[in-house]
Amino acid sequence: MWIANNWNDYEVIDTSSGEKLERWGDYLLVRPDPQVIWNTPKKHPGWKKKNGHYHRSSRGGGEWEFFNLPEEWSIHYRELTFRLKPFSFKHTGLFPEQAVNWDWFSEIIKNAERPLKVLNLFAYTGGATLAAAKAGASVTHVDASKGMVTWAKENAAASGLSDAPIRWLVDDCVKFVEREIRRGNKYDGIIMDPPSYGRGPKGEIWKIEESIFPFIELTSQILSENAEFFLVNSYTTGLQPAVLSYMINTSIVSRFGGKVEAEEIGLPVTESGLVLPCGASGRWSRN
């Protein structure tokens, strides 16, 4: 398992009964987590001193309950700054487990000895975009949500990357890649974090089990001849690491060589000393 264990401003303190107790900077949040199927005693005082608690509804969705939590605050990872705010469906605008992937491709970018062009698809609030830009890449950031792209720009400004070579695009990722193929544009690194389910701007349906392999094959067409890396992340239970590995091997290794690795990703839990699983990632690299 790849573990995001280099955080100072974030930690999973404890887990029990379908929930996790987290520290986001100076604030404690309790949020539901479908992986937490165990029921252990909630001994840590943070469970009772939380600043925010997302309650899942039996009818679907849920709502936040707040206790002295600001509308917005920031945390840091290495040299990056992320603005956080609790919003719909339990999220805060950041997935801390992804830091283990940021570290991986940042090293590739720094060691490439040439400027790399990187494409970040389904780019959300820009964690991977900022990490790649900070490492020295020029980045194209694509997300279908205008609000998420605006939020990502705010994170870039907070991280001192307002003038970094980042192209911000509000677009459907599939349509964008199809246009890049026609334009003949190529990228040295591609990152994608597709949703399990979604709708495009014109009502297009995205179901990851049906769409992900054709999309990986499509996107591999815009890898440059000297491409350095390709990363696919999944939070969908059915897409195990071996499945990600198989798809990347089939689509990319046959044309570019290189190697593929795939693992679960996770976050350390302070109270138990164990690791909370948080999805899976598949990685291709030239070397």
- What predicted TM-score, i.e. pTM, was given to this entire model? 0.94
For residues 149 and 165, what is the distance between their CA atoms, to the nearest angstrom?
A: 15
Same-domain pairing of 136 and 233: yes
Give the tokens for residue 264: 């679960």
Question: What is the H or E stretch that residue 266 is in?
Answer: strand 259-268
Q: Is 91 a member of any domain?
A: no
Q: With H, G, I as helix, E, B as strand and everything else as coil, classify residue 75.
A: strand
Nearest to 273, CA basis, from 3, 76, 27: 3
Same domain, 78 and 101: no
What are the pLDDT tens digits along the chain (287 aa)? 999 999 999 999 999 999 999 999 999 999 999 999 999 999 999 999 999 999 988 777 899 999 999 999 999 999 999 999 998 789 999 999 999 999 999 999 999 989 999 999 999 999 999 999 999 999 999 999 999 999 999 999 999 999 999 999 999 999 999 999 999 999 999 999 987 666 665 666 666 667 889 999 999 999 999 999 999 999 877 789 999 999 999 999 989 999 999 999 999 999 999 999 999 999 999 98
pLDDT tens digits along 92-150: 999 999 999 999 999 999 999 899 999 999 999 999 999 999 999 999 999 999 999 99
Last residue of a domain, one of 84, 107, 131: 84
In this predicted structure, what is the pLDDT of residue 208?
Answer: 67
Domain co-membership, 144 together with 68: no
Residues 38 and 134 in one domain: no
Q: 40 and 101, same structural domain?
A: no
What is the distance between the alpha carbons of residues 209 and 204, in angstroms, rounded to a whole number? 15
For residues 108 and 118, give the distance between their C-alpha atoms in angstroms, rounded to a whole number.
12
- The range of the structural domain enclosing residue 67 comes to 2-84
Same domain, 34 and 128: no
Q: Is residue 107 in a domain?
A: yes
CA angle at 275 for the pair 196 and 129, rounded to the nearest 5° = 50
The CATH code of the domain that includes 109 is: 3.40.50.150
Residue 264: its pLDDT value, please? 97
Same domain, 76 and 104: no
Whole-number pLDDT of residue 60: 76
Closest alpha carbon to 97 in 281, 282, 283, 232: 281
90 domain residue, yes or no: no
Decide if 143 contacts 123 (C-beta within 8 A): yes
Report the pLDDT value the prediction gives residue 145, as an integer from 0 to 100. 92
